[in-house]
Amino acid sequence: MIRASALVALALALLSSGVRAEEPPLQVGPPVDVGDVAELDLALAEGRLGGAAIKCEELKTRGVMSLEVRDRCGRVLLGLGDRLSEAGSKANARARWEEAATYDPRLLDDSGYLARLKNGTPPSVAIGTPPVTVGPKVSEVPLSEAKPPAPKPPKIPGPGAGPRWDRGFGMGMSFGFDGLLAATLGWLTDETFLVEVSFGIAYPATDVRFRWLGLRNCLTPFLGAGILVPFGQDDRLGLDIAAYDNLYELGESFHVDVGLAYMPVIGLDLHAGVSFLTPMDRDHPDTVLFFPQFMAGASWYF
């Protein structure tokens, strides 16, 4: 009897081991579709969330989605909801966020996801931290990796350039027939051509003139011409200089200038010379032609 019971027990043991050997292996989940995952990763990186959402909807209709695909689709819907929230469409944004959890239920344990549902804004706006579940756009480069703007290349003087090669606008003072003491504005171009306008201080007068600088050196001769326009004979400083009173009484005058210009340091331009004036007054035929007048000035060119 004991031997029969032992045989029965041995038979049952062999039967149970055979059944276990025929059990199918445990399935963790559906196989990963590498192509779909790569396509969704690229869409996340490039910010093409709308097209990626359509792709996820197509995959959902198939009925089988791997964990990797669900993860990407959840991130796609999160990002799409964030964009809708930033655009002011709060209701549509919340619908996309809630749809994201249907793809990836793990989002229900994510603090950023819960902050979206609670505050109605992405975590970067709601709690001051950037979202960690949505892939960034390619154009969104972190500040730490952003390259500083390239510095402008320095100006390089050409062959034969002098101290005036990169000068432009200038301001200064002049002394002479253009108001005895005058403030000047000038523009220097091509190192050799200078245009100036002076406004008399001692006498009310304006002079518009140009000068051609013969050389590009610090010291250069110049030749110029201009028109003097007086606005009366008022001696604002009370100097009572008869020569200037008589000159301004004749009205507008044309003048030709010759002299020297000197730039001891870059920017500071000094000049002195003689101007030969011819009044345009036809009522006085005895007017002296090309009457010489001394003139000088100092200007700073930037």
Looking at residue 140, its pLDDT comes to: 42
Confidence of residue 143 (pLDDT cuts 50, 70, 90): very low
Domain 169-301 annotated CATH 2.40.160.20: yes
User: And the tokens for 118?
Assistant: 């609670």
More confident residue, 139 or 104: 104
CB atoms within 10 A of CB 276: 17
* Model confidence pLDDT, tens digit, residues 9-46: 444 444 444 434 343 343 344 555 677 888 888 888 88
DSSP state of 141: -
Amino acid letter, 2? I
Looking at residue 75, its pLDDT comes to: 87
Contacts of 60 (CB under 8 A, 6+ apart): 73, 103
- Cα separations (Å) of 51 from 26, 75, 76, 158? 35, 13, 10, 56
* Model confidence pLDDT, tens digit, residues 245-288: 788 888 899 999 999 999 999 889 999 999 999 888 777 656 66
The CATH 2.40.160.20 domain(s) of the chain lie at: 169-301
Looking at residue 32, its pLDDT comes to: 54
Query: 210 near 225, Cβ under 8 Å?
Result: yes
Confidence of residue 136 (pLDDT cuts 50, 70, 90): very low
Domain 34-126 annotated CATH 1.20.950: no
In this prediction, residues 40-67 reach a mean pLDDT of 83
The CATH 1.25.40 domain(s) of the chain lie at: 34-126
Amino acid letter, 77? L
pTM (2 d.p.): 0.48
* Model confidence pLDDT, tens digit, residues 73-122: 888 888 888 888 888 888 888 888 888 888 888 888 888 888 888 887 77
Give the three-class secondary structure for 206. strand
Q: Which of 114-123, 151-160, 224-233 has the highest mean pLDDT?
A: 224-233
Longest dimension (CA), the chain: 164
Q: Are strands 169-176 and 219-230 parallel, antiparallel or unpaired?
A: unpaired
Least confident segment among 101-115, 134-148, 162-176:
134-148
Q: Is the pLDDT of residue 134 over 60?
A: no
Task: Quote the CA–CA distance of 253 and 277 in Å, as a whole number.
Answer: 6
User: And the tokens for 99?
Assistant: 């749809």
How far from the centroid of its chain's Cα atoms is residue 100's Cα? Answer: 38
